[in-house]
Structure 1
Amino acid sequence: MERTIDWASRLDLAAHAEGGYFRRIYTDHRSQGRGDDARPWATSIHYLLTRDAPVGRLHRNRSTILHYLQHGGPVEYVLLPAPGVCRRIVLGYGDGQDLFLAVDGGCWKGSRLTGDATHALVSEVVVPGFDYADHEFMTADELGRSHAAFADGLQDLVR
């Protein structure tokens, strides 16, 4: 029998504004760009969804984000790369599931635990590095305008 691990405590994670828990674990302090456009080359976090925080709200960032499932799952990622387009990718260990997902900058992204998952621990690498100035949450109004055909099934992913 597998021992239950309290990942939030083990990794010293804090509540995340998107939902779930996180902690930045790496920042490459070399920068690219200048002035307000300067960003670290890369940043990385641990990100955790649990039964008490099972959803990562729809948001977008200007940078590409690489996702690596570390433990648990499955976790569904909902990607809205363009108006009227919705893609669903499941990170997990089962048939038809992946262990890695790359999300291009500018793509709306949300996540949720699926099935009987108790948690999903994902590590993310952001290139160029994450900056809060580049981050935006999707609103229910925006979801209704840009993805009306999918809006009913995605309400749990907006604030």
Structure 2
Amino acid sequence: MTKTEALIQQLQLEAHVEGGFFRRTYESGERPLLDTAYGPRLRLTSILYLLTRTAPIGRWHLNRSDILHFYHLGEPIRYYLIDDCGQLSTHTLGPDPSQGHQLQLVVPGGVWKASHLPHGDYGLISEAVCPGFEFDDMSLGARAQLLHRFPQHAALIEQFTP
């Protein structure tokens, strides 16, 4: 068993629809739900999220809620964000701030996001989502839709959509 396979097993991770592996680790179910425009939501949820050499891409997707990402282990993970105005920003979550790595990253709700593991065996982060994550609040990016909306980012859109 490889170190990556052992980590997936030890952390009880499963395949994620956007790519990589995950496990929900917390939900604030003991607190009253938040009323949102899309219905009641948990106040906060959290997951572990792993990209690997064999599953290195988190494809383009959009969440309604704000997400805080926290680096934990392994190689740096690169994030690409496109806001509603089409502005692209690139961030690297990793262990070494002297190399420009961030230890945490905030992605506001309504921002398109893709991620990838540029090299190495794995990169492990966690995410905290507020209001809490619901699959109904996430949209996977369709290549044609994203190319129509953000043609200036065609190369990145094509790289991170099927």
TM over 0.5: yes
Gaps of 5+ in 1: none
Q: 1:99 aligns with which of 90, 100, 103?
A: 103
Residue identity (%): 38
The DSSP-based 3-state class of the residue aligned with 1:33 is: strand
Deviation at 1:36, TM superposition (A): 5.6
Deviation (angstroms), 1:82:
2.1
CA distance in 1, matches of 2:36, 2:92: 37
The reply on whether 1:17 has 2:21 as its aligned counterpart is: no
1:4 deviates by: 3.6
Kept in 2: contact 1:19–1:53 (CA 8 A) = yes
Query: Residue in 2 aligned with 1:129?
Result: 132
> Is residue 78–residue 110 contact of structure 1 (8 Å, CA) maintained in 2?
yes
Q: Quick one: distance in 1 between partners of 2:50 and 2:42? A: 23
Task: Write the distance in 2 (CA, Å) between the matches of 1:70 and 1:157.
Answer: 23
Give, as a single letter, the amino acid of the residue that structure 1 aligns with 2:52: T
**TM-score, normalization: structure 2?**
0.90
Change in Cα spacing, 1:99 to 1:36, as seen in structure 2 (3 Å) is closer
Which residue of 1 is the match for residue 35 of structure 2? 33
C-alpha distance 37-69 of structure 1, shift in aligned 2 (>3 A): same
Q: Distance in 2 between matches of 1:15 and 1:55?
A: 12
Task: Answer yes or no: is the 8 Å Cα contact 1:84–1:148 preserved in 2.
Answer: no
The C-alpha deviation readout for 1:95-149, integer Å capped at 9, x for no partner, is 11111000000111110002x3211101000000001111101111122112211
Letter of the aligned partner of 1:10 in structure 2?
A: Q
Deviant stretches of 4+, over 2 Å: 3-6
Q: 1:27 to 1:74 in 2, by over 3 A?
A: same
Write the letter of the residue equivalent to 1:106. G
> Given that residues 72 and 118 in structure 1 are in contact (C-alpha distance below 8 angstroms), is that contact kept between their aligned partners in structure 2?
yes
Taking the aligned partners of 2:62 and 2:15, their CA distance within structure 1 comes to 18
Q: Report if aligned partners of 1:79, 1:87 keep a CA contact under 8 Å in 2.
A: yes
Partners of 1:67 and 1:123 within 8 A in 2: yes
Shift of 1:14: 0.4
Aligned to 2:76: 74
For 1:147, the aligned partner's letter is F
Moved more, 17-26 or 29-38: 29-38
Alpha-carbon distance change, 87 to 34 in structure 1, aligned in 2, over 3 angstroms = closer
| Cα offset, 1:151, TM superposition | 1.1
